[in-house]
């Protein structure tokens, strides 16, 4: 078995890093600022106390925003600069993923895991976004490295690294709690419940003690958040998940966000995928890594927990929130591909990587890509068409973040409903009556209203119907999926600008 992986495989790693860096750099430069990114930049340009307050009033935890705050203070607030911090976390994740996989398998599977990870359109997209997701992935990988080290040594080694990575994980995203829950269940099943092995209560006790200390240190943030309104500021509207969303998550991790028709075709092939996995598990494999049960547990269980919590508490199942389990899918996939004969493994790997690369190009360049948000072009349109005698109205209100980042025109920018970001209580609730009063005031001052529609927070159709029924539409432009501008005439006693 020692000759199964040859030493020259190391030569592939620099090439992986070079290609990954080139692809991500292209994505950094070519994409418009997105809504969530604009909010990140806006928050992190504030003072630290104000940053913490705004973050606590939202759905986030502070570690990434504090790091981005320092980063922007040093290098400036340009969108490429903001995204480059995520690129740093991504490149670090490649080394960490290689180390994690090699720790439990061999160099071939480790390198293949890194290749699949670095060519995943999903990973590339979020590793070049100025959000916490690439840091979240890095914390998840590092935490698993220390957890397995802790486990293999019987709790002797890896304790401090496990303690810190768990604390930083909590401070990166609330969903890190699902990873810890999965690890705890894995410990119970392998150290306590399995009767064929000697029960090891010591390891479970030490792990529990470490997690309790992390939760105690994390609790002041929870108390602070609850005191400021328990994330009432800009909560996204998330629909209840279905079984389709579970399969969609797997497809997104591997193939990113292709146009809807292509995505539906891929998802419809899931029975074929189940058959392939069955054949792999029933054949004699060339190499079976240790702790593969751990990777299956921490990949699938957090998704199941998030799915269940969406029904028990409130909908919170979003694929991007589950990005922290995606590295383990690539470890599992690399192992499954390596279960075949050597030549067949190379063919399958090449086909999969070729397919992923094609979808990556389509995702990043196609106007029909469901993930793109072309606010830059939308703002260019507003700057050319809107005049000081018009008004720009954004629906929903948090569209203000990307618009104000780009907009340099003289037309007044408002939101539907009117929102003061600095007032306590979050975005006001929407009602048709309030919208009518708001537009009546506009009619007293302005000739046209440029309505920018983006995310649907549950009232998009009501706003659209109101304008379509009561005003003459002069123009409509679509800039990306779910991002359009409609222009309506408000008054007829004054001639419109030519």
- pLDDT score, position 357: 86
Lowest mean pLDDT among 59-68, 279-288, 362-371, 483-492: 279-288
Write down the domain spans for the chain: 7-365, 375-489
Give yes or no for residue 186 having a pLDDT over 50: yes
Q: Which two structure tokens, joined as six digits, stand for 261? A: 């028709």
Q: How far apart are the first and last CA of the chain?
A: 77
Q: Report which of residues 52 and 2 the model is more confident about.
A: 52
Tokens for 34, please give them: 């997105």
Least confident range from 88-92, 158-162, 190-194, 322-326: namely: 190-194
| Mean pLDDT score of the chain | 86
pLDDT band at 147 (very low <50, low <70, confident <90, very high): very high
Q: Is the pTM of this model over 0.85?
A: yes
Q: Which of 71-75, 148-152, 318-322, 424-428 has the lowest mean pLDDT?
A: 424-428
- Element of type H or E holding 291: none
Say yes or no to pLDDT of 144 above 70. yes
pLDDT at 270: 64
pLDDT tens string 434-461: 999 999 999 999 999 999 999 888 889 9
The whole-angstrom separation of Cα 71 and Cα 68 is: 5
C-beta neighbour count of 396 within 10 angstroms: 26
Taking the C-alpha atoms of residue 38 and residue 87, their distance in angstroms, rounded to an integer, is: 17
Half-sphere exposure of 79 (CA within 13 A, CB side): 21
Quick one: which of 401, 464, 442 has its CA closest to 33?
A: 401
Contacts of 185 (CB under 8 A, 6+ apart): 297, 301
pLDDT exceeds 80 at position 484: yes
Question: Which tokens sit at 61?
Answer: 């935890």
Residue 284 in this model has a pLDDT that exceeds 70:
no
Give the pLDDT score at 490: 92
- 3-state helix, strand, coil split of the chain in percent (to 5) is 65, 5, 30
Q: What is the pLDDT of residue 8?
A: 47
The pLDDT of residue 1 is 35
User: Each residue of 265-282: pLDDT tens digit?
Assistant: 777 766 666 665 555 555
More confident residue, 136 or 359: 136
**Residue 5's pLDDT band (boundaries 50, 70, 90)?**
very low
């Amino acid at each position: 078995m020692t000759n199964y992986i040859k030493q020259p495989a190391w030569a592939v790693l620099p090439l992986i890093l070079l290609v990954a860096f080139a692809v991500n750099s292209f994505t950094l430069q070519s994409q418009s600022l997105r809504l969530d990114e604009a909010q990140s930049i806006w928050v992190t340009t504030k003072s630290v106390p104000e940053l913490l307050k705004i973050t606590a009033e939202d759905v986030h935890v502070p570690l990434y925003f504090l790091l981005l705050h320092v980063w922007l203070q040093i290098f400036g607030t340009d969108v490429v600069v903001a995204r480059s911090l995520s690129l740093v976390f991504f490149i670090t994740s490649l080394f960490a993923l290689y180390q994690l996989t090699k720790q439990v398998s061999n160099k071939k599977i480790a390198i293949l895991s890194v290749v699949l990870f670095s060519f995943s359109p999903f990973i590339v997209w979020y590793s070049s976004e100025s959000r916490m997701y690439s840091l979240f992935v890095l914390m998840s990988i590092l935490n698993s490295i220390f957890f397995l080290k802790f486990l293999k040594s019987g709790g002797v080694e890896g304790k401090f690294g496990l303690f810190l990575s768990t604390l930083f994980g909590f401070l990166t995203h609330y969903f890190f709690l699902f990873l810890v829950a999965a690890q705890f269940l894995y410990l119970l099943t392998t150290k306590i419940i399995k009767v064929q092995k000697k029960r090891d209560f010591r390891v479970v006790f030490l792990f529990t003690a470490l997690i309790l200390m992390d939760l105690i240190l994390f609790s002041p943030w929870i108390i602070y958040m609850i005191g400021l309104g328990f994330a009432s500021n800009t909560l996204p509207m998330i629909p209840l998940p279905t079984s389709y969303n579970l399969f969609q998550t797997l497809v997104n991790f591997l193939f990113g966000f292709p146009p809807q028709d292509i995505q539906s075709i891929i998802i419809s092939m899931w029975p074929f995928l189940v058959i392939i996995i069955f054949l792999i598990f029933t054949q004699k494999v060339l190499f079976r890594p240790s702790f593969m049960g751990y990777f299956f547990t921490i990949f699938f269980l957090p998704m199941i927990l998030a799915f269940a919590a969406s029904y028990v508490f409130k909908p919170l199942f979003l694929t991007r929130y589950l990005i922290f389990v995606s590295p383990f899918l690539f470890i599992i996939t690399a192992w499954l591909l390596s279960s075949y004969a050597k030549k067949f493994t190379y063919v399958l790997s090449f086909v999969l990587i070729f397919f992923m690369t094609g979808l990556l190009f389509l995702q990043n360049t196609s106007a029909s890509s469901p993930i793109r948000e072309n606010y830059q072009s939308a703002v260019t349109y507003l700057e050319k068409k809107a005049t000081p005698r018009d008004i720009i109205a954004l629906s929903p209100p948090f569209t203000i973040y990307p618009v104000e980042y780009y907009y340099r025109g003289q037309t007044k920018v408002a939101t539907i409903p009117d929102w003061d970001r600095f007032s306590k209580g979050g975005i006001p609730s929407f009602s048709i009556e309030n919208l009518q009063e708001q537009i009546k005031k506009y009619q007293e001052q302005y000739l046209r209203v440029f309505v920018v529609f983006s995310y649907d927070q549950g009232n998009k159709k009501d706003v659209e119907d109101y304008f379509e029924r009561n005003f003459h539409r002069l123009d409509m432009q679509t800039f990306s999926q779910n991002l359009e501008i409609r222009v309506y005439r408000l008054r007829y006693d004054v001639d419109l600008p030519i």
